[in-house]
Amino acid sequence: MTQQTSKAKFGPGERVAVLLPKPFDQAFDYVLPEGMTVASGAYVRVPFGKHELIGVVWGEGTQHVDSAKCKLVCEALSDWPAMSATLRSFIDKAAAYTLSPKGLMLKMAMPLPDILRKPVRETRYRLGTLPDAPLPAKRQAIVEALGSASLEKKHLQSLTHASTPMLKAMTDSGVLQAVELMATNPEPAITGEAPKLRPEQQRAADTLASGKGFQPFLLDGITGSGKTEVYFDRIARALSEPSAQILILLPEILLTVQWLKRFETRFGFTPHVWHSSVSVAQRKRSWQMIANGSGRVIVGARSALFLPYRNLRLLIVDEEHEASYKQEEGVLYHARDMAVLRAKEDAIPIILASATPSLESTVNAQQGKYQEIQLRERHGAFEEIPPQLIDLRQDKPDRGSWLSPTLRRALQQTLAAGHQSLLFLNRRGYAPLLLCRTCGHRFQCPNCDAWMVTHSKPPRLQCHQCDWRMPLPSACPECDHEDSLVACGPGVERIAEEATALFPQARLVTLSSDEGELPQQIDAILRGEADIIIGTQMVAKGHDFGQLALVGIVDGDLGLFGGDLRASERCYQLMHQLAGRAGRDAIEGQVFLQTTQPEHPVMQALQVGDRPAFVEQELRVRQKAGWPPYGRLAAILLEGFDEVQVKAAAQQLVRHAPRVQGVSYLGPAPALIARSRNRWRYRILVKAGGDQRLQPLIRQWLATQKLPSSIKLKVDIDPLQLV
């Protein structure tokens, strides 16, 4: 494995190790041609096979390759500053921790290779030679706007309303000079008004500001306590440092919509946004601004961790408990944990914020690794609202209905009062299963071991594993009976159908990842143009709907089971976050939770509202069993098209697993979805004590095993799913 070297500069004829954004763990030796000098971290274009690739100089060449076989570097991309030593070190350590090829980690830091070939440029104007004669008023305004500075074309036009022909005429006459430069951001001017913090918030903000160097903070605040305002204060202080860059991670793309509005109101400018839904052109521009240091504030998803910051001074992970921070495809990593590593490499403070912190972060705070800051006062007139449990065994919905009489009455009363209600069900689509009443046939995906989900908009059956779709059939394909197909169970679309039938005058909005125009829907909710909101788990994540008075959880038992050690923790977090959506401003809230198991410990903990007691009990169970956060886990997943071959390979791996005291192997066993996209999947779980490092053991173990080329193997360090 090629590591960085301390040598900073390389000249003509010297060997350099170039890391390429490909699935390789080692860098490749190249020779610098005559007249070329590069620094460690420089972006270079090199030949690779029949193609040319852009890579990064990772250090000095290994000298293991015959000089005659070493190819020359084609070009040093001098438009760009070298990749920083801290980012290269972060990539090295992230790859080592996750047991991922270093080249794939680099690829996440180079997501847009075209921008390295063609930087985004902009036209900037500066003053040329002024004529002796007075200029017309409009042209004089342009001269005064420029002064001794240079301004980007659009910025100059926004200040002076100058037309493009006028700017061209002034350039042709020599009054202006037009130059093509790499695009940069103007220095942000904070124009928003800082809110007055409550004493508890101010103490928290002052504590956050005291962090120097690498310092992890756990900001544990109940819903509605003003965590965002507290870390906004820390952002404002960081922005006072010259050229400081700040990164804020959010778990869901949808969250950026309302978050950006709050940020723009507070600071008066728009930060750079980085996630997969942002256009390629905008991401190219943002990448360039971040690389040249003019992009000061960045809000984004997991991949924003790998951007080439020039001077990262503060890192914030909002809703740090969210499972969506774990990347389950490609390189497997948890963005929260990698954010802590990135902050450590950059020697900067990191803030992990949540109303329901993960047990991992809770234990880190208990052990003194993180400094915990608590916010226990809620903004507004009303306290945190524990849910009222509705026992569906007693308070039964009508036949074909999913809303209990108690919840229906609460909805009616809330509508009559002119307030908003939220109905939550963590299940997309119309129904999770389509069944033939005549022969019992169930519709299963042809590519996966998963039932097809019924959707009504548009009518179809869809696999939520591989996205395979088919039109909604009118007859059973097994027995040919018509009118015998029945949708079993509810999804959010079915709840919306029932709510429409019960309250035809109500304005409904359904929030789900299946729905389009989510930003517009959230705007409509904030403007009071929705009476009943129906949504999946995304509605629990950080939204602040000021007119929301009622939360109804349609099926609180979903997610409680399934063999996952984190099931209780996740269910509690989700229900607790949902309860916090109601009654956040001047409206008193109510929360109803429908369940068939009101005696379950999670339900009892929610009803009592004693989160510390729930956390203490859950940690006691984990510690006794040696599960995380007190133990270590790694999952090895094998996939292939031949089930017999995959199972045999998994069994072979376990037979040859190293026998080390304190390390045990569970499996192999079929994955929860045993077949996905026509690939059979088997898992091996490696379990060890908290002081045992699994990576060296697994690396050495797998290095001695040869698997068929048709089998794909992935290692998941710290898996969230156990099956």
Q: Percent of the chain having pLDDT more than 70?
A: 95
Span 586-590, average pLDDT: 80
Please give the Cα distance from 116 to 618 (Å, whole number).
49
E strand or H helix at 229: helix 227-239
pLDDT value of position 582: 82
516 pLDDT higher than 70: no
564 torsion bin: left (phi>0), alpha (psi -120 to 50), beta (else) = beta
E strand or H helix at 326: strand 326-327
pLDDT value of position 121: 73
706 pLDDT higher than 60: yes
Instruction: Report the range of poorest mean pLDDT among 19-28, 30-39, 254-263, 547-556.
Output: 254-263
Q: How confident is the model at residue 132 (pLDDT cuts 50, 70, 90)?
A: confident
Query: If DSSP codes are grouped into helix, strand and coil, which group holds residue 329?
Result: coil
pLDDT value of position 430: 94
**Residues in CB range of 624: below 8 A, 6 or more apart:** none
Span 239-254, average pLDDT: 90
Which fold is adopted by the domain 9-115? GIY-YIG endonuclease (3.40.1440)
pLDDT value of position 629: 96
**Residues in CB range of 186: below 8 A, 6 or more apart:** 152, 155, 294
**Residues in CB range of 619: below 8 A, 6 or more apart:** 359, 362, 363, 629
| pLDDT per position as a tens digit, 400-452 | 899 999 999 999 999 999 999 999 999 999 999 999 999 999 999 999 999 99
Q: How confident is the model at residue 1 (pLDDT cuts 50, 70, 90)?
A: very low
| pLDDT per position as a tens digit, 66-108 | 777 889 999 999 888 899 999 999 999 999 999 999 999 999 9
Q: Percent of the chain having pLDDT more than 90?
A: 66
Query: If DSSP codes are grouped into helix, strand and coil, which group holds residue 115?
Result: helix
Q: Match 């099931």 to its residue by tokens.
A: 567
| pLDDT per position as a tens digit, 6-33 | 578 999 999 999 999 999 999 999 999 9
Please answer whether residues 285 and 273 qualify as being in contact, where contact means their C-beta atoms are separated by less than 8 angstroms. Answer: no
Burial bucket for residue 43 (CB in 10 Å: 0-12, 13-18, 19+): buried
Burial bucket for residue 666 (CB in 10 Å: 0-12, 13-18, 19+): middle
| pLDDT per position as a tens digit, 202-226 | 999 999 999 889 999 999 998 888 9
Which fold is adopted by the domain 388-429+490-623? Rossmann fold (3.40.50)
**CATH code of domain 632-717:** 3.30.70.600
E strand or H helix at 534: strand 532-535
Across 425-493, the runs of DSSP E, i.e. the strands, are 433-436, 453-456, 459-462, 469-471, 485-488
pLDDT value of position 587: 76
Helices 492-502 and 405-416, packing angle to 10 deg: 60
Please give the Cα distance from 326 to 53 (Å, whole number).
29
pLDDT value of position 547: 85
Please give the Cα distance from 608 to 324 (Å, whole number).
28
| pLDDT per position as a tens digit, 144-199 | 888 877 787 887 888 888 899 999 999 999 999 888 776 666 667 677 778 899 99
pLDDT value of position 114: 74
Nearest-CA neighbor of 80 among 6, 187, 183, 186? 183
| pLDDT per position as a tens digit, 689-700 | 988 899 999 999
Q: In the CATH hierarchy, which top-level class contains the domain 199-375?
A: alpha beta
Tell me which of 335 and 286 has the higher pLDDT: 335
Instruction: Report the range of poorest mean pLDDT among 343-347, 391-395, 509-513, 529-533.
Output: 509-513
DSSP 367: T
Please give the Cα distance from 309 to 288 (Å, whole number).
10
Span 563-576, average pLDDT: 88
**Residues in CB range of 396: below 8 A, 6 or more apart:** 404
Span 27-53, average pLDDT: 94
**Residues in CB range of 333: below 8 A, 6 or more apart:** 94, 97, 98, 100, 302, 326, 327
Tell me which of 123 and 399 has the higher pLDDT: 399
| pLDDT per position as a tens digit, 598-643 | 999 999 999 998 899 999 999 999 999 999 999 999 999 999 999 9
Tell me which of 559 and 516 has the higher pLDDT: 559
Which tokens belong to 403? 């809303």
**Residues in CB range of 309: below 8 A, 6 or more apart:** 84, 87, 245, 247, 290, 298, 346
Calculate the average pLDDT of the chain. Answer: 90
Please give the Cα distance from 150 to 186 (Å, whole number).
11
